[in-house]
Amino acid sequence: MVSVDWVFLGLRIITVLGGVIWVSYYPEGQAPGRIDTGSLFSFYLGFVAYSLLLFFGLVRFPSKALSFYRASFWLDLIFISAIIRATGGFASSFFIAYYLLIALHTAYYSSLVTGGLASLAGAAAYLLALYGRFEGVYWGDLMMRLSMMPLVGLSTGLLVKQLAEAKEQLEANGVKLAESNKLLERKLTQVNSLYEASKALGSLLHYDEVIRLIVGLAGETLDSPVSYMMMTNERGQLYFRSSSGIRDDLLKDAYLEPGTGVAGRVYLSGTPAVIEDLLNHPESSLTEIDRQAQLRSLLAVPILNKGRTVGVLNVARHEPGCYSHEDLQLLQVVATLAAAAIEKAEVFEEAQRAAVTDGLTGLYNRRYFSQQLEVEVRRGQRYSFPVCLVIMDIDHFKKINDTYGHPGGDQILREVSRRLKGLARHSDVVARYGGEEFAIILPQTPMAGAMTFAERVRLEVGGQKFRLNDGREIPVTISLGVAEYPSHAKSVDELLNEADKGLYQAKVSGRNRVCQAGGEGRHQH
């Protein structure tokens, strides 16, 4: 059924105007048969009144449109028959209005059956309009007029049906086109994101920034609210290196052994995975995280660097069955970009580490130590924080070298460095100061705390013998000097000199002890 529009009222206005013109220019008494123009004009007024009522009823009560159209058909049929009877019967040209009525009614209902029934009703109404006035009827012409009615009804019904099917096909094509356009827009957005990301990744050198950008890129490209990268820690376990869309408290202590769970299997096998429903997947060992974060669909791809898996890149959604094979291929492209960027960042950071660290011990070198000491002293000046410096020296190191050779001496240096790093805080700067000398910067640490820390270092180094590669064990002790800014010094050079004085005092006092600037050994073995 077509919708209510101005066509409904417009056709009736045309009909009324045509009839009024016909009556106005056809003088009474000159028409074949008897025409009462006054009565005919009353017919038109009634037709106008009921048409207006019907139209406003359609507008006011659209849910009852079918009933209104059905009533209008019978009222129109009666009106046309009355006009024909009043304007000469068979000689009247108003029989053509039957065709228009049948066509419109068939179009309203969009049905071949309706067209057939309307045609039969029109033919019957025409015969009733002629009842009792068959004089002068040309029967061949009458049969032609009657036979045209089902032809109009059926052809209109067929045409409307074909138009309806064409409309449905156009709408279906429109939906497909809209989906295709949406898919194309998504692909263009993804390609643009990848292009912009590749430029950004090419300009980034710091490892943490690269990882964060990769995680964000994966989520944006795959239109996923959750994305994260898992990498291995020093124990070989997978942990959440960076994430987006999952609460940090859920990931803080979450670890996965390689080979277990989806990400663990992907990491171990180097094969990507598409999971339609994480909560019902037998290999997911992160069910608590999945449940808390309400994750269902998952894509996981390995990040490969020179044939070695260095991590697993994941994206997830809260609904099941969201990812396709094309999505997996796209995430693999992101993972390839990630691998190249990670490799570049690792090379850069390795070069940075090489520039600031000692090749033998892995501690910061003297150059970096000097730079950081300047930074910490300036920060202490600005915020009135104390800064302590500990300088230490391995006792009788020349004798160790002479007795056990330089390989043995190098091993002792590496082991002392390892013990120092184990005791230092994250904010402390541990450096190889030169030869067998080491230095530690203790930011925001007063003298009492520095002395306690230095004593712990002395006990850690001297409390347990060092085992060489050949199995021999030797005792090693250290002497330490401690100075504080601003109590003992007002500048970096003064701080270094005061710590050196403390170290000298420790050595001349018998070694294996901690001394502060200008003081005697406070702790000794």
* Alpha carbon distance 131, 143 (integer Å): 15
SS3 call for 391: strand
* DSSP at 358: -
SS3 call for 260: coil
The order of strands in the sheet holding 255-256 is 255-256, 238-244, 226-232, 308-317, 297-305, 273-275
The order of strands in the sheet holding 437-443 is 429-434, 437-443, 387-394, 478-485, 513-516, 523-524
Beta-carbon count within 10 A of 220 CB: 19
Residue 426 burial by Cβ neighbours in a 10 Å radius (0-12, 13-18, 19+):
exposed
Q: Report which of 381, 407, 332, 384 is spatially closest to residue 492, judged by C-alpha positions.
A: 381
Q: Give the ranges where 357-491 is alpha helix by DSSP (H).
A: 366-383, 397-423, 447-462
520 among known catalytic residues = no
Q: Are 213 and 203 in contact (CB under 8 A)?
A: no
Half-sphere exposure of residue 57: CA atoms within 13 angstroms, side-chain side: 14
What lies within 8 Å, CB to CB, of 269 at 6+ separation is 302
3-state DSSP of 150-176: HHHHHHHHHHHHHHHHHHHHHHHHHHH
Identify the residue whose tokens are 């998952």: 298
The residue from 196, 257, 276, 436 that is catalytic is 436
* Alpha carbon distance 333, 462 (integer Å): 54
**Residues belonging to the active site:** 436
